Amino acid sequence: MRIVYHSFEGRYSDNPCVLYEALRAREPGHDHVWLVDPAHAAGGFPMGTSTVPYRSQEGVEALESADLVVANTHTDLVWTKRPGAVYLQTWHGTPLKRIHFDVLWAPEGRLDRLSRDVAQWDVLLSPNRISTERLRGAFAFSGEVLESGYPRNDVLSGPDRDAVRERVRAELEIPPGVTAVLYTPTWRDDVVFSNGNRNFALDLDVDAFIARLGDDHILLLRLHYMLTGRLQAMKHPALREVSFHPDVSELYLAADVLVTDYSSTMFDFAVTGKPLLFYAYDLEDYGSRVRGFYFDLPSVAPGPLVRSTRGLLEALADLPQVTAQYASRYAHFRDTFCHLDDGHASERVLDRVLERQAPRPGTAN
């Protein structure tokens, strides 16, 4: 069986990466090919991984020859799925932000173009019961929605999670006893699509971060894949730029607290039980004009919503109080969004996809 993987326009990451590794262990001998972004090729893929450039004729040919395509976002290329092939779309997060046809604004022609990819999907993963109908409706998808949980979160409940934490902290040179603050801001559609290829500024004062919290805190900056490589370079002893780290789940384990705005990282990080803070400096504008939300974040957020760097740093300085204050809401949040995160999502997904995948005529699976 020939399997082609696509993650975030050319990375070795996320649900496709976990499924790739699980399938190789479960059924050796298949032909695996990854679509790669050259910026992530060196050091971003394990040695010996078969790759072809994402935006290339080779990439199109790989997709059109596949028996199984596994992607975590739209495969924004002009290609046609082979008859009998299965296209598994894992997507990449529980939707708080409105997506696809539900967004408040998108560049002209973008949704129609991406919908041509949606029309080729066979199975769409849902991370939890509340997301199933939202995903189906947003994509106008009439195929199978598999309510399975996300394979990428299996490691968060796995037996090796403590060892992963120690390894990644060592790789990132985070000293013992230092609080690692993982910051995962999402992207702003209007800014990205109107800003061309120019750089962006970070809406967080890193100098104030170190001045208020001291040397026993480090900021791990993880940008959305639409912004990676486009933020003005910062050199600061309190900052680690981890946007190119292949596996965000490893960063969840390495971190001690997550700061985000409206990113779906909040739902995955909640599996860890560690504190969550929300730096929602443009909440009203983002919710009413830029993208829109599926639910009211202030009423369900399992941590404080702050509007300024100062407010964020005050909350970070007293995490025990934050944890105690939001314990009940945090538990409800996990019950709502993390009920399938039991460490076995990969098994459920592979069971179903391999059941659906039909062999080519005259070949064995």
Q: Are residues 182 and 235 in the same domain?
A: yes
For residue 230, what pLDDT is reported? 52
Q: Are residues 85 and 190 in the same domain?
A: no
**pLDDT grade for 192, boundaries at 50, 70 and 90:** low
* Averaged pLDDT, 103-132: 95
Mean residue pLDDT of the chain comes to 91
- CATH number where 146 lies: 3.40.50.11820
Q: Are residues 180 and 111 in the same domain?
A: no
Q: Are residues 194 and 121 in the same domain?
A: no
The predicted-structure confidence for 80-97, as pLDDT tens digits, reads as follows 999 999 999 999 999 999
Q: Are residues 99 and 131 in the same domain?
A: yes
Q: Are residues 303 and 172 in the same domain?
A: yes
Within-domain flag for 138: yes
- Write down the pTM of the prediction: 0.90
Within-domain flag for 304: yes
- CATH number where 176 lies: 3.40.50.12580
For residue 27, what pLDDT is reported? 95
DSSP label at 226?
A: T
Within-domain flag for 169: yes
Share of residues in the chain with pLDDT > 70 (%): 90
Within-domain flag for 363: no
Q: Are residues 72 and 174 in the same domain?
A: no
- The domain of 243 spans 159-337
The number of helices, as runs of H, and strands, as runs of E, in the chain is 16, 13
Within-domain flag for 365: no
For residue 349, what pLDDT is reported? 98
* Least confident stretch, 1-15, 86-100, 105-119, 228-242: 228-242
Q: Are residues 177 and 321 in the same domain?
A: yes
- Answer yes or no: is pLDDT of 126 > 70: yes
Q: Are residues 128 and 183 in the same domain?
A: no
- C-alpha closest to that of 89 among 112, 115, 121, 57: 121
Share of residues in the chain with pLDDT > 90 (%): 77
For residue 226, what pLDDT is reported? 54
The predicted-structure confidence for 257-280, as pLDDT tens digits, reads as follows 999 999 999 999 999 999 999 999
Instruction: Count how many domains the chain has.
Output: 2
- Answer yes or no: is pLDDT of 154 > 90: yes
* Averaged pLDDT, 335-355: 97
**pLDDT grade for 189, boundaries at 50, 70 and 90:** low
- C-alpha closest to that of 26 among 360, 316, 349, 363: 349
For residue 282, what pLDDT is reported? 86
Q: Are residues 333 and 348 in the same domain?
A: no
How far apart, in whole angstroms, are the C-alpha atoms of residue 148 and residue 350?
Answer: 10
For residue 99, what pLDDT is reported? 95
* Averaged pLDDT, 348-357: 93
The predicted-structure confidence for 18-29, as pLDDT tens digits, reads as follows 999 999 999 999
- Answer yes or no: is pLDDT of 196 > 90: no
| DSSP line for 77-124 | S---PPTT-EEEE--SS--SB--GGG-S---TTHHHHHHHHHTT-SEE
How far apart, in whole angstroms, are the C-alpha atoms of residue 320 and residue 123?
Answer: 42
- Answer yes or no: is pLDDT of 361 > 60: no
**pLDDT grade for 365, boundaries at 50, 70 and 90:** very low
Q: Are residues 119 and 165 in the same domain?
A: no
- Among 159-168, 206-215, 280-289, the range of highest mean pLDDT: 159-168
Within-domain flag for 58: yes
Within-domain flag for 122: yes
For residue 223, what pLDDT is reported? 83
Q: Where are the alpha helices (DSSP H) in the chain?
A: 14-26, 38-41, 57-65, 110-118, 129-139, 161-171, 189-194, 206-213, 248-254, 265-269, 283-285, 297-300, 309-316, 319-325, 327-337, 345-356
Q: Are residues 253 and 212 in the same domain?
A: yes
For residue 364, what pLDDT is reported? 47
The predicted-structure confidence for 39-59, as pLDDT tens digits, reads as follows 888 778 999 999 999 999 999
Within-domain flag for 85: yes
The predicted-structure confidence for 310-322, as pLDDT tens digits, reads as follows 999 999 999 999 9
